[in-house]
Structure 1
């Protein structure tokens, strides 16, 4: 069954996503990252190239022919392409990912602004209604809520 984790109170959603994705990759996990649109995908792509100096975090966009072979794949909320794996999904979009049930774990990254919190509350309720196990963490203190 899919597990869902919410990281609340995140001062920098891209930085936390890059950190967690790099840690997941180092642990042998495959990562899908869903963002709102192509502009967010490009910013995340740049962040992954520069997040950890002198390291390589292998990633491509979902539309790349190498997506099935790359451990970290970035896709947009409006993409209709299927994800190449079902291990770990980071969601930075405002809605619940269609087919989220195919993943072992979904991680919701929630910022500090009300514009981030309001849709996150809706997603929490939708996941809860789906009866998936939910956990919440404070991103700054890295503690469970």
Structure 2
């Protein structure tokens, strides 16, 4: 069954996504990050290159020919061919990701803005109605 985790009150969406991506990668997991726009995607891409000195996290775009072979993928839309892995999906978008139930874990990152909280509540209800009770984690004040 898919686990669902909501990390809410994130002051820095890309920072929290980077931290959670690194944590999952270091635990041997494959990670896909779905982002709402190219600006945030570029920001996260840069963070994954320089998270800590000498600690590159291997990643490519979701639409890259190397996506199926790379442990971390990022993108703003699902490829026409579908997801390239089924382990961890980190979602920073307002909508429930398509085919979310194929993943072992869904991680929702929600900011402090009310414009993000409303759609996040709808996603929470959607997962709960699908029989996947979400777990909440408050990241406010954690510096990421």
Q: Same fold (TM over 0.5)?
A: yes
Q: Does 1:89 align with 2:89?
A: yes
1:53-64 alignment, distance < 5 Å: 53-64=53-64
Aligned to 1:133: 133
Aligned to 2:98: 98
Q: Alpha-carbon deviation of 1:126?
A: 1.1
Aligned to 1:123: 123
**Ranges in structure 1 where 5+ consecutive residues have no aligned partner:** none
Q: Does 1:110 align with 2:110?
A: yes
Q: Alpha-carbon deviation of 1:78?
A: 5.7
SS of the aligned residue for 1:136 comes to strand
Alpha-carbon separation, structure 2, partners of 1:105 and 1:50: 26
Alpha-carbon separation, structure 2, partners of 1:20 and 1:123: 19
Aligned to 1:77: 77
Q: Which moved more, 1:86-95 or 1:46-55?
A: 46-55
Q: TM-score, normalized by length of structure 2?
A: 0.91
8 A Cα contact 2:62 2:78, kept in partner: no
Q: Alpha-carbon deviation of 1:38?
A: 2.8
Aligned to 1:46: 46
Alpha-carbon separation, structure 1, partners of 2:140 and 2:39: 26
Aligned length: 142
Please give the per-residue CA displacement for 1:58-90, whole angstroms capped at 9, x wherever unaligned.
Answer: 000011111111100112136434121100000
SS of the aligned residue for 2:85 comes to coil
Moved over 6 A (4+): none
